[in-house]
Structure 1
Amino acid sequence: MKINKRLTASILLAVSVRAEFDPLRFVDPLIGTNNGGNVFAGATLPYGMAKPVADVNGQNTGGFATDGSGVTGFSAMHDSGTGGNPSLGNFPIMPQICPDDVIDNCNFLVGSRAVNYDNASVKATPGYFGLKLVNGIAAEMTATRHAALYKFNFESALANSSGTKPLILLDLTDLWQSRQNATVSVDESSGRIRANGTFLPSFGAGSYRSFVCVDFAGGSVNDTGIWVNNRAGTVAQDLYVTRGFNNFYLEAGGFVMFDSLSSHTLYARVGVSLVSTEKACQNAEKEIPEPTSDFANIQSAAEKVWREKLSPVSVNATGVSEDFQKIFWSGIYRTMLSPQNYTGENPLWNSDEPYFDSYYCIWDAFRVQYPLLTIVDPNAQSQMVRSLVDIYKHEGWLPDCRMSLCKGWTQGGSNADVVLADAYVKNLTGIDWNLAYDALVNDAENEPLEWSIQGRGGLQSWKNLQYIPYLDFDYLGFGTNSRSISRTVEYAYNDYCVSVVGKGLGKTNLTKYLTRSMNWKNIFKADQTSFINGTDTGFVGFFQPRYLNGTWGFQDPIACSPLTDFCSLTSNPSETFESSVWEYQFYVPHDMSSLITTLGGPDEFISRLDYYYESGIADISNEPVFLSDYSYHYAGRPGLSTKRAHSYIPSSFNTSESGLPGNDDSGAMASFSIFSQLGLFPVAGQNVYLISSPFFESVNITHPETKKTATIRVKNFDPTYTDMYIMNATLDGQTYTKNWIGHEFFLKGQTLELTVGSDETASFWGKGVDDLPPSLSLSAQLLF
């Protein structure tokens, strides 16, 4: 056999280039750390519990922000990209040098101890975070799964201070100052600080206990003690505090003062736990045995884990800007910050199943984040689903939101149902599907007493009236009696998802769930108009609230859109949740064909979509908009979906510190941009990915379990994206006209080749009736 030496050399060069590629070079954890992105910027492992970073007194929902605010401490547990109140940030430590070495000259209170940081000094990479305070103290940190290692250098600070003895305080607080009670104990000889406290979840009910164990290395202990308000003492070494009289918040904690630092550097090892202080200490001792020599190794180990997690994905980025590559790789990184793997740290029940926390919130993440993890990290996603099912087993309900061992507020439907259905149709393994189906049926049939934190409310009306009424009379359970439109629309899809899993398992009596899945039609008011500033939009027919007696209420279709006020769950609850009637009218994922007919046919549907975007009603800062961006596929105009996706990158998703249109919602925003760049978009709960044009010449995803590689390749690739419309396609070399594809694409490792051009109207690809995504009402394309 003859060997083509030139071809062999080319292959070897390509392999060499691939081997040398380091995706971490394109990961920037600071993207989204300003302007409300609330992204966690610190050091962590994928789904890691320990998340050390500097906490600031500005936009501190994720701990740190690049908003120039002051650093108030360094804590080791955080959530990423959440909205609402700041989350976690328990037991921050803060380095200082007391003027003249007088303890009471130090600043202990949060309001007085804040120190600005040097913007140019901030450095964040996977597994590492560092900055320098303007007082000269430099802080670096890295993390293992349950422990953080801080490295504080005092050289510059000591040179400019009248004091000589660095001090580290620990504050019995969290970012939200939600502490109810807490205890601290300081060991006089070793300086070890042990603390625990009871805190409130930032978006839920109940309380949780958190535990920490702090050890120091690199210096000798000079003195120890406790502090209360802005005074400290060295006689007492133990302290217990409560919330205080009339909920007065007493600031308090412990401290250790040092001298004889080696190379002016002090190490602080912080173990965290939700079980006990003993477990926190054990976690730290096991994972960081030698604090003074482990820092570089821990950072390197974290980088190795992150490279492995990103390794299933590769792209041919020829001609693509570095910024677009950073958007892509940073996005994948952020999808693996949460949910967090707290296996072994759940004190609520004993189980051999995984326990994940910070499902924050499923209403945000089910649409794109979990489908993305199903592709790039199916083992982790399977563990998350198993955890959801185990929560049902022990607490009686699937969560819609969960954080810090607590039940979070239900936002829309029971959307863990969609997560389970998505896992089922995509063949995730290791899941007890009979138990999972019991959980789905429980959501559909039984109303909890408190449906504000689990399950669904208004089920009596849902079953009898076939919609959720405005001002429902519901004596079976209690919750915020609002969101009648969005709950109707979401419950309809939730019931469809129940039927999908039930059919796959061979269950009977599923017709009622299919029937209920069409309940969205019962809140469609065919003669409803919509005006903007007194001008008729020209479109007629919208969802509207409906009373128990069947008569209609009214909600302005543009209410809760960017043109009006944001509608939150608590401050101004409305009949749609965090989104407008205009936005919710496009959410019927299981029967878009019927929706299009209801709205007047494909041309009218496209016209309505165009107006929705061009008028400013569409809200890219929130998740309900995601699927509507790709809804043109269902009307036979997939190229317009591509055009819409390209309009948001990089205008709304970019590499700046304000590079997200809204908070990241644990990686939901990141996942939307990733799928858009991949050229596939998931319809969560179905075995359907809508095909678009990638931002790269080719994309390869190797399934971590089957080891087969799926490839999307673009012919005539244009890095200016003028030629971005799909003219024709082949799948494994055969003509492929459908504008969607199934998960088999990834499991089998198929090759999808797309030929692109500049004229969307000249393309016939994906526009035929038989090429459209499945819809329940199309007999030729039955989803069921």
Structure 2
Amino acid sequence: MEKARIDYVDPFIGVDGENNCLCGPYLPNSIVRLSPDTLPPQLSHGYDSQRPIVRFSHTHVSGTGGGGRYGNIGITPFIGEMRLQVDGYEREHEQASAGYYYVRLMPEGIQAELTSTARTGCHRYTFPEGISGHLWIDSSAVIQVEGDQPGATTGLCIGGYLEKVSSTELVGRSDFRGGWGHDYPYSIYFSIQCQQPFSACILADHTGIREHNVVDGKHCRAAVSFDDQQIVEVKVGISYVSIGKAKASIEREAVGGFDDIRQQAGDVWEQKLSRITVEGGSEQHTTLLYTLLTRLWCMPSDLGIDDEYHGWVSGVRQYTDLYALWDSVRNANSLLTLIDPELEIGILNSLLDIANHIGWLPDAWIAGHSAMIQGGSSADILFNEAMLKGLPDLNYKIALAQMRKNNEVYSPDTWMYGRYLEDYLSLGYLSTHVPKNAVSRHMEYSYQDWCIGSLAESLGELEIAEQYYQSSTKLWNLWNDERRCFAPRLPDGRWVEPFDPAVCRTDSWNDPYFYEGTSWQWSFSTHHDFAGLIERHGGNQAFVEHLNTFFDNGYYYSKETMLHIPYLYIYAGRPDLAAERVRECMQTYFKVARDGLGDNEDMGCQSAFFICSALGLYPLMGQDIYFLVPPVFDSITLRLGTESAQIFLNIVVEGDTNVSDRTQNRYIAEAWLNDRVLDRAWIRHHEIQHGGQLRLRLSRERQSWGSSDLPPSPLQEWRNKKQTTA
């Protein structure tokens, strides 16, 4: 019997190490992400395979680094005496699938099962026969990351209340502060509905047990007991707005028993995963593809239209936990634009609505507030890409005005909004006056300037376009030609000495010059002028040698700012070497294992690298280009457009017939797009957005295919156009 797509999903891939992915159930872009939390200290997602399980909580981020956030409203089953503290459990037979999680908690032998809807967590606990079971409810639960400060860089409960309203229901509100990005407070409202009545209930606050039906404060807990109930089912509605909405979510979404809800979750995922159908790949590659697709749709959370967002009423669908665009812009948003454009349009309209209310486009948006800017304004890149790819139903004129504001208006708080403009506008570069990451910020600002110019040109604002294209040439003001890399400069123009482009001065987050990388690594991020980069290295062959040195000496690793680098061989006329390096990166950094990803997953960024590379169709952020490399599957069908659209792009792969091992076919020898010969290793979005067929013939031998028609480099095209008109 043929396996369904969800049968390939392995939620344990990437749960350990720095991957920080969830193994518990969630639905696409859901509010509830229900997952086990292990004994503190915790990672940002709350889980570690080597540590005991202490609870199952309902709100999580997935794949992020940084300080802890969420892990709220925790439930833990236990047996024995009623109490308000439970020790951690070892695990046995832990397993998971799309929308489902199971573990046997040892040594007590309690079976725990989890499933979920978009806004409801569903639990089923099976206690040992003949033994009364209990549930411990910790409404103050929150992720605790070692070394971070509770209430600032990691979470802290700062208040709330917990109320018993009947023998089957507890409700309440919990207030929290702290976590990555900002320390603004947020509130979680909840309704905990037991499907079997509990025989006893005790409530406690920070002082201990209280003889009341309600407790309040920073540490509200409850324990409920079930006599003669071997199986207990619990539904927990979660809301950011009210208890009433939490209850309504249970009534609307969590209809039926646990098995019904689990089946519905699986059906939702099977439908979502049908956006991509593959055949002929290995079990490992297929497992990674469909598992990582579920990660692509994990965040952000869809709050609906004037529904689960407390900040304002505007008639616009809102999203939260954009955590962060700086990561997802590298490739994940481009993949969504291709296979789920409705979601991408929704996210972009939400960003515009946020900017309309707070005055600035956010770079990250968490729990109703802007969060730390890691570079510039990544939204600038997304709006330009959306225009180039023809996404409808977006007000691009308003987007352009907001994008220009980042370049033209001094920010009141550069931690959360806008740019460091003083040096950028007066000196033409970010000098060492900028407190940290000056060079990498400068590089990002320059690319975002090009994106502003490109969007302006698309809108017919040619003078503005010319202004911003010229501004984007500031990129090279921090290029040190002697070192052949980007380097820091003092305000007086002198280069900083000593300077080692291979290392960070401090940790990679707080380095004064580069963020999460070194100069060697960042110096490939010239997205609007790769031709200029190649020229400064001495031409195609010299650039190829530089790339080879970079990879062979171990400077590359699977970091979001480096994921495009193996594709740069194509700009130097060597698609064959791009094919080799991409496959090498996939094999090195992506495995069916609990630590199977090369780095933080980062809101679909790692996932999109593997997915797009496996499909042989990799996007360049902010532009309308896809690079072509050999796919790992024989047949691929992408369903494009809206959910109801029947638009299909078929990628068909043929290999040398005399090669028994298909994996030896590592190079593209010939290509046809809709039966027209394709002699380049890149295509534009408009060439595939209406569907069709891309046919590839692969070979085991290196080929010259795609070596002469190189991808466009925007600044080079702009310069050529200026010279022609002059």
TM-score class, shorter-chain normalisation, is: over 0.9
Confirm whether residue 232 of structure 1 aligns to residue 174 of structure 2.
no
Confirm whether residue 402 of structure 1 aligns to residue 365 of structure 2.
yes
Aligned residue among 417, 423, 435 for 1:454: 417
Measured after TM superposition, the shift of residue 607 of structure 1 is 0.9
- 1:327 maps to which residue? 288
Aligned residue among 593, 596, 599 for 1:662: 599
Change (3 A) 1:216 1:271: closer
- 2:570 maps to which residue? 633
Aligned residue among 243, 252, 260 for 1:286: 252
How far apart, CA to CA, are the structure 1 residues paired with 2:46 and 2:182? 25
AA aligned to 1:255 is A
Measured after TM superposition, the shift of residue 543 of structure 1 is 1.0
AA aligned to 2:427 is L
Asked if the contact 2:339–2:641 (Cα under 8 Å) also holds between the matched residues in 1, the reply is yes
Asked if the contact 1:220–1:259 (Cα under 8 Å) also holds between the matched residues in 2, the reply is no
- 1:723 maps to which residue? 665
- 2:181 maps to which residue? 204
What number of residue pairs does the alignment pair up?
Answer: 704
Secondary structure, aligned partner of 1:657 = coil
Measured after TM superposition, the shift of residue 168 of structure 1 is 3.1
Structure 1, unpaired ranges of 5+: 1-16, 243-250, 473-480, 529-540
Asked if the contact 2:127–2:133 (Cα under 8 Å) also holds between the matched residues in 1, the reply is no
AA aligned to 1:596 is I
Secondary structure, aligned partner of 2:535 = helix
- 2:147 maps to which residue? none
AA aligned to 1:467 is Y
Aligned residue among 698, 701, 707 for 1:767: 707
Secondary structure, aligned partner of 1:35 = coil
How far apart, CA to CA, are the structure 2 residues paired with 1:328 and 1:636? 29
Aligned residue among 620, 639, 654 for 1:702: 639
- 1:341 maps to which residue? 302
Secondary structure, aligned partner of 2:664 = coil
- 1:559 maps to which residue? 503
- 1:145 maps to which residue? 118
Measured after TM superposition, the shift of residue 59 of structure 1 is 7.5
How far apart, CA to CA, are the structure 1 residues paired with 2:603 and 2:718? 38
Greater CA drift, 350-359 or 722-731: 722-731
Measured after TM superposition, the shift of residue 752 of structure 1 is 1.8
- 1:471 maps to which residue? 433
Change (3 A) 1:129 1:59: farther
- 1:548 maps to which residue? 491
- 1:531 maps to which residue? none
Confirm whether residue 46 of structure 1 aligns to residue 18 of structure 2.
no
What does 1:602-617 align with in structure 2 at a 5 Å threshold? Answer: 602-617=540-555
Measured after TM superposition, the shift of residue 418 of structure 1 is 0.8
How far apart, CA to CA, are the structure 1 residues paired with 2:627 and 2:123? 45
How far apart, CA to CA, are the structure 2 residues paired with 1:723 and 1:287? 48
Per-residue deviation, residues 651-710 of structure 1 (Å, max 9, x unmatched): 210111110011111221011011110101111110100111111112121213352221
How far apart, CA to CA, are the structure 1 residues paired with 2:675 and 2:465? 39
- 2:227 maps to which residue? 259
- 2:190 maps to which residue? 213
Secondary structure, aligned partner of 2:264 = helix
How far apart, CA to CA, are the structure 2 residues paired with 1:351 and 1:640? 50
Confirm whether residue 752 of structure 1 aligns to residue 715 of structure 2.
no
AA aligned to 2:548 is D
Aligned residue among 100, 110, 120 for 1:128: 100
AA aligned to 2:673 is L
Confirm whether residue 623 of structure 1 aligns to residue 560 of structure 2.
yes
How far apart, CA to CA, are the structure 2 residues paired with 1:165 and 1:52? 21
Confirm whether residue 117 of structure 1 aligns to residue 80 of structure 2.
no
- 1:358 maps to which residue? 321
Aligned residue among 447, 451, 455 for 1:493: 447
Change (3 A) 1:736 1:567: same
Confirm whether residue 599 of structure 1 aligns to residue 537 of structure 2.
yes
Change (3 A) 1:113 1:730: same
Confirm whether residue 425 of structure 1 aligns to residue 425 of structure 2.
no
Greater CA drift, 56-65 or 545-554: 56-65
What does 1:499-578 align with in structure 2 at a 5 Å threshold? Answer: 499-507=453-461, 508-528=463-483, 541-554=484-497, 555-560=499-504, 566-568=507-509, 572-578=510-516
- 1:584 maps to which residue? 522
Measured after TM superposition, the shift of residue 557 of structure 1 is 0.6
Measured after TM superposition, the shift of residue 40 of structure 1 is 1.3
How far apart, CA to CA, are the structure 2 residues paired with 1:714 and 1:354? 40
AA aligned to 1:685 is G
Secondary structure, aligned partner of 1:511 = helix
Measured after TM superposition, the shift of residue 558 of structure 1 is 0.7
Per-residue deviation, residues 188-246 of structure 1 (Å, max 9, x unmatched): 6324222212212421224233223333434332222322459534x12322224xxxx
- 1:739 maps to which residue? 681
Per-residue deviation, residues 161-189 of structure 1 (Å, max 9, x unmatched): xxx35243233131136234222233263
How far apart, CA to CA, are the structure 2 residues paired with 1:354 and 1:260? 46
Asked if the contact 2:170–2:193 (Cα under 8 Å) also holds between the matched residues in 1, the reply is no
- 1:7 maps to which residue? none
What does 1:43-122 align with in structure 2 at a 5 Å threshold? Answer: 43-57=25-39, 60-61=42-43, 63=45, 65=47, 67-99=49-81, 103=82, 106-108=83-85, 113-118=87-92, 121-122=93-94
How far apart, CA to CA, are the structure 1 residues paired with 2:667 and 2:540? 19
Asked if the contact 2:437–2:511 (Cα under 8 Å) also holds between the matched residues in 1, the reply is yes
Per-residue deviation, residues 383-435 of structure 1 (Å, max 9, x unmatched): 11111111111111111112222221110121111111122211122212222
- 1:713 maps to which residue? 652
AA aligned to 1:82 is T
Aligned residue among 303, 308, 312 for 2:275: 312
Secondary structure, aligned partner of 1:197 = strand
Measured after TM superposition, the shift of residue 365 of structure 1 is 0.8
AA aligned to 1:548 is P
What does 1:149-160 align with in structure 2 at a 5 Å threshold? Answer: 149-155=122-128, 159=131
Measured after TM superposition, the shift of residue 50 of structure 1 is 1.0
Confirm whether residue 36 of structure 1 aligns to residue 12 of structure 2.
no
How far apart, CA to CA, are the structure 1 residues paired with 2:717 and 2:121? 55
Secondary structure, aligned partner of 1:169 = strand
How far apart, CA to CA, are the structure 2 residues paired with 1:62 and 1:325? 28
C-alpha RMSD of matched pairs (Å): 2.2
Measured after TM superposition, the shift of residue 128 of structure 1 is 1.1
Measured after TM superposition, the shift of residue 360 of structure 1 is 1.0
Secondary structure, aligned partner of 1:225 = strand
How far apart, CA to CA, are the structure 1 residues paired with 2:193 and 2:681? 59
What TM-score do the two structures reach when normalised by structure 1?
0.86
Measured after TM superposition, the shift of residue 580 of structure 1 is 0.9
Change (3 A) 1:139 1:230: farther
Structure 2, unpaired ranges of 5+: 145-149
Change (3 A) 1:402 1:494: same
How far apart, CA to CA, are the structure 1 residues paired with 2:710 and 2:649? 21
Asked if the contact 1:184–1:254 (Cα under 8 Å) also holds between the matched residues in 2, the reply is no
- 1:476 maps to which residue? none
How far apart, CA to CA, are the structure 2 residues paired with 1:220 and 1:691? 59
Greater CA drift, 321-330 or 172-181: 172-181
Asked if the contact 2:125–2:232 (Cα under 8 Å) also holds between the matched residues in 1, the reply is yes
Secondary structure, aligned partner of 1:416 = helix
AA aligned to 2:700 is S
AA aligned to 1:506 is G
Measured after TM superposition, the shift of residue 90 of structure 1 is 1.0
Asked if the contact 2:84–2:221 (Cα under 8 Å) also holds between the matched residues in 1, the reply is no
Confirm whether residue 170 of structure 1 aligns to residue 138 of structure 2.
yes
- 1:241 maps to which residue? 217
Secondary structure, aligned partner of 2:217 = strand
How far apart, CA to CA, are the structure 1 residues paired with 2:492 and 2:480? 15
AA aligned to 1:183 is G
